[in-house]
Amino acid sequence: MKILTSILLLLSLWGYSQPPIIPLPASYQRAKGTFTLSEHTRLVVEDSAFQPAARYLEKEMQRRWGLKRSQNSATKGPTLVIKAGLPAKEGSYALVMNEGSVVLTASSPAGAFYGVVSFLQLAAESRKVPCWNLKDSPLYGYRGFMLEESRHFFGVSKVKALLDEMAYYKLNRFHWHLTDEPGWRMEIKAYPRLALVGGVGTATDSLKPAQYYTQQQIKEIVSYAADRYITVIPEVDMPGHATAANRAYPAYSGGGSPAHPEFTFNPGKEETYTYLSTILKEVSSLFPARLIHIGGDEVSFGNEKWMKDAAIIRLMKQEKLSTALEVEHYFLRRMADTLRSCQVQVLGWDEVIEAGLPVDHTLVYWWRHDHPEQLEAALRKKYRVVLCPRLPFYFDFVQDSTHRVGRRWAGAFNPLKAVYEFNAEHYPGVKDHPGQVLGLQANVWTETMATAERLDFMVFPRLLALAEACWSPRKDFKAFQRRLSGHLSQLRKQDIHYFDPINPQASPELVH
């Protein structure tokens, strides 16, 4: 019996152990030996489209170990080959390793990049890389993370650092929420006061001097993301959450409420549409993905003056609109038309499904976990959907029962396990509409995150659990925790101030 137990244990440890990779590859098998990286390692790229992935690998080899790519084709040494092949599923790759070679075969440039990332994770601890054979492809094509910078601003270096971590864990959509009530964080040359006046203040300091991204900085970040196969999606929130913009250009304000002053743009003035169309066209010139998120959420927080506004009353008579909600929907259709004229897809929070926006031109973000019927309706109407429900994907919610700074929902919070174990098929309509759910996204709203360290504490390691939820169909939380331990060590070396869910006492709540 003891012999049988020992054999089963060895099989468990050797035959069925997992590679130290997050997200876990679809298929993996431990191979014999180790592949040693050295100054004699040759990097061979058989398809010029895969050169960006090769350059990324070269930079990482130089940064980690001071190794440069061998330029001598006659050099005898280990060889790393990147070549095309495999079915055309975007992001798929295979890695075959032995002591003398690593062969990375990919379906696309993105797949080559993800294969490189997996290899780098295997090499995280040493130049002597344990050999594995991998076949991999993502569960979802959309694997997103949203950073809101209206409430607190973090700057170019921090955004690049977040993009680095997204790339390392194969996330590929960066939703950049740049406008909201406290601040407008993007230079618009046609309306410079948006940044110079609207950029003043944060959620905790209304007098803080203007902070915003110049157009040159935006282009720099978009390019940096593209090098890591990440698409940047800007958000210009409307018609609500417009307080900062209205502070800069009050002529376009539709008023607000005591709790949310000057909250809306005025949908009754034709000049409002000219103003916002000019802004959106300028924004579209900065983001080559042809995707712009226009919000469309929570308008009722500050539209109580609409029904008394002369311009809006005229619009309602002219367009035969009966309610403030119908006015809101009219506004959204107008802005969607502007984006369509620019060949830009319109993206919006789940409220927009009631506005009659064109199905083939609209992407819906379902965020209200307490309104599953909204998701079901979006799918029934044939909209493509990204799932980002507050529970478990709002990272401004606390992640441990002992934490005090951050949000909860009727006492509920968002621990690592809930993020990891998310299953879209538990929600109504998802199984009945295959292909309409494009993927998942986590959102971080920064009311309680005034520093980069506090941001880290709320994002990590939940970002890693998100990555695996987006990529890997199989779920084993205990196995994930075992792999996570090594990745926490890597985060520590990068001076990322993460929460440690394995040993919470080692990382007391960081509140500033």
Q: Residue 373 belongs to what H/E stretch?
A: helix 372-380
Q: How far apart are CA 308 and CA 15, in angstroms?
A: 72
| List of residues 6+ apart from 7 with CB closer than 8 A | none
Q: What is the DSSP secondary structure assignment for residue 439, as one 8-state letter? A: E
4 SS3 class = helix
Q: Judge contact between 210 and 199, C-beta under 8 A.
A: yes
- Amino acid (one-letter) located at 224: Y
Instruction: Sketch out the chain's domains with CATH numbers.
Output: 22-136 (3.30.379.10), 142-476+490-506 (3.20.20.80)
Positions of E strands within 319-369: 345-349, 362-366
What would you report as the CA-atom Rg of the chain, rounded to the nearest whole angstrom? 25
| List of residues 6+ apart from 218 with CB closer than 8 A | 186, 187, 286, 287
Q: How far apart are CA 194 and CA 333, in angstroms?
A: 24
pLDDT 10s digits, 394-427: 999 999 999 999 999 999 999 999 999 999 999 9
Q: What is the DSSP string of 257-312?
A: -SSSTT-EE-TT-HHHHHHHHHHHHHHHTT-TT-EEEEE---GGGS-TTGGG-HHH
pLDDT 10s digits, 56-75: 999 999 999 888 876 555 56
Among candidate residues 58, 220, 298, 421, the one labeled active-site is: 298
pLDDT 10s digits, 249-274: 999 999 999 999 999 999 999 999 99
Q: Judge contact between 82 and 47, C-beta under 8 A.
A: yes
Residue 298 is among the residues annotated as catalytic for this protein = yes
Q: How far apart are CA 309 and CA 277, in angstroms?
A: 22
pLDDT value of residue 512: 83
Low-confidence ranges of the chain (pLDDT < 70): 1-16, 70-75
Q: What crossing angle do the helices spanning 51-65 and 109-122 adopt, rounded to 10°?
A: 20
Q: How far apart are CA 18 and CA 96, in angstroms?
A: 16
Q: Residue 29 belongs to what H/E stretch?
A: strand 27-36
Neighbours of 307 (CB within 10 A): 12
Q: How far apart are CA 66 and CA 206, in angstroms?
A: 46
The model carries a pTM of: 0.95
